[in-house]
Amino acid sequence: MRTQRQVVDYSLRKRAVLRELLAGRVGTYDVCDASPYLKNAARFHGEPTEERCPICRSENLTHVHYIYGDELKHSAGQARTLTELPVLAMTLREFQVFVVEVCLGCDWNHLVEQYLLGRDGLAGDTEDGAEQGAVGGTAASAAVPGPAARRRREAQR
Ligand SMILES: [Zn+2]
Kindly report, residue by residue over 59-116, the tens digit of the pLDDT: 999 999 999 999 999 999 999 999 999 999 999 999 999 999 999 999 999 999 999 9
**φ, ψ for residue 76 (rounded to 5)?**
-60, 135
Rounded to the nearest angstrom, the distance between the alpha carbon of 32 and the centre of ligand 1 is 8
Report the share of the chain in percent with pLDDT over 70: 76
Rounded to the nearest angstrom, the distance between the alpha carbon of 73 and the centre of ligand 1 is 33
Rounded to the nearest angstrom, the distance between the alpha carbon of 102 and the centre of ligand 1 is 8
pLDDT category of residue 136 using cuts at 50, 70 and 90: very low
Residues facing 23 on adjacent strands = none
Rounded to the nearest angstrom, the distance between the alpha carbon of 5 and the centre of ligand 1 is 30
Q: What is the pLDDT of residue 47?
A: 98
Rounded to the nearest angstrom, the distance between the alpha carbon of 35 and the centre of ligand 1 is 14
Rounded to the nearest angstrom, the distance between the alpha carbon of 98 and the centre of ligand 1 is 20
Q: What pTM, to 2 d.p., does this model score?
A: 0.76
Cα of first residue to Cα of last residue in the chain, in angstroms, is 13
Q: Using an 8 Å Cβ cutoff, are 79 and 107 in contact?
A: no
Domain ranges across the chain: 5-156
Instruction: Identify the CA nearest to 2 among candidates 147, 118, 134, 143.
Output: 118
Rounded to the nearest angstrom, the distance between the alpha carbon of 42 and the centre of ligand 1 is 13
